[in-house]
Amino acid sequence: MRQKFSKVILLVLIFSVLPFTTAFAQSSQEEIIKNAKAQLGVPYLYGGTTPRGFDCSGFVWYVFGKAGYDLPRTSSSQYHAGTKVAKKDLQPGDLVFFERTYSKAGITHAGIYIGNNEFISATSSKGIKIDSLSSSYWGPKYYGATRILADEGFSDVSEKDLAFEAIYALSDSEIIQGFEDGTFRPDQAVTRGQAAAIINRVLKKTPKNISAFKDVPKGSRFAKDIAAIKELGIINGFKDGTFRPDAYMTRAEMAVILEGAFKLNEMKIAEANTSSYSDITPAYWAHDAIVTMSSIDSTTIFDTDRYYATHRATRAFFTAAIFNSMNVKK
């Protein structure tokens, strides 16, 4: 578990006596970004560590200090204060560092990553401002990043959620990811393209031919995954030669696809001839696959009276189904 049980109880008690709008409801990431943006426009001051003026490391030191973090004062020391992070894995609140911003070699500038490839820092020309990591000036000078903030998990997923274990297990395995704002968005529907990508992160199939469907260009985000899933015969296209990657996937489609992807139908898991769901009959086209999803469920998310086969599969529902399929006893 991401948090000890005692800590969870403490937070519950705090929330029960304090309004939700207090600072206790704010994540460390949100607090850091809020503190940083509150200083926009403050002028640059060499050696400055207050809202009267900041230098780059003084700004970082001040912002994190307001949130209760005791950081070193200089940029080079701040770089070595946390855990190193690859540029592709940056999260809001991470520290970003640059070199050769003046004649001196080595780390010469520090800022705070705020998401969307942007960071905020104290610049000598315009004071506290937001810049792009890929700008013509900062891009070539990027040195590295450090994470000071502990991983607090997803702000919209609690231990009470039925898919909690599945979400964190697959997130830790980098099979399914959250969003830059620290959310998982469990109720958001899954598209066919997203489903192909998530499944292929488990199966790790490299396609022989990326040009699988006329509506999935080679350069599109999920092109390789969609082609791989097609070659495996897991998700097929439509009669008009399209895949429709942005179309949402129903719960029935999800069951059939995962049964095939993980070859659950070969394991003789679902032996019942009837479903426990009142809205699914033995004659329903996805009946056996749906029964399988229920039979292998360890999350209890499938433990309902109705299956709602035509409803869209949400990220939480799909993640739980993937988790169950990966962990079924063979």
In order along its 330 residues, the chain shows pLDDT tens digits of: 334 333 333 333 333 333 333 333 356 888 999 999 999 999 999 999 999 999 999 999 999 999 999 999 999 999 999 899 999 989 899 999 999 998 667 899 999 999 999 999 999 999 999 999 999 999 999 999 999 987 667 889 988 999 999 999 998 888 998 887 778 999 999 999 999 999 999 999 999 999 899 999 999 999 999 999 999 999 888 999 999 999 999 999 999 999 999 999 877 664 544 568 999 999 999 999 999 999 999 999 999 999 999 999 999 999 999 999 999 865
Q: What was the pLDDT predicted at 271?
A: 52
Single pTM value for the model:
0.61
pLDDT at 17: 36
- For residue 256, which of 290, 223, 281, 280 has the smallest C-alpha distance? 290
- Amino acid of residue 249: M
Contact call for residues 252 and 197 (beta carbons, < 8 A): no
What pLDDT score does 177 carry? Answer: 87
Exposure of 144 by Cβ count < 10 A (0-12 exposed, 13-18 middle, 19+ buried)?
Answer: middle
Q: What is the dihedral of CA 295, 296, 301, 304, to 10 degrees?
A: 0
Domains of the chain, each with CATH number or no CATH: 17-147 (3.90.1720.10), 164-327 (no CATH)
Q: Estimate to the nearest angstrom the gap between the alpha carbon of 79 and the chain centroid.
A: 24
The C-alpha atoms of residue 141 and residue 62 are separated, in whole angstroms, by 24
Beta bridge pairs of residue 127: 123
- Helix/strand/coil (H, E, C) string of 25-60? HCCHHHHHHHHHHCCCCCCECCCCEECCEECHHHHH
What contacts 268, CB < 8 A, 6 or more positions away? Answer: none
In sequence order, the 6+-apart residues with CB closer than 8 A to the CB of 260 are 233, 234
Q: Exposure string (b/e) for 303-323, b if CB count within 10 Å is 16 or more?
A: eeeebebeebbbbbbbbbbbb
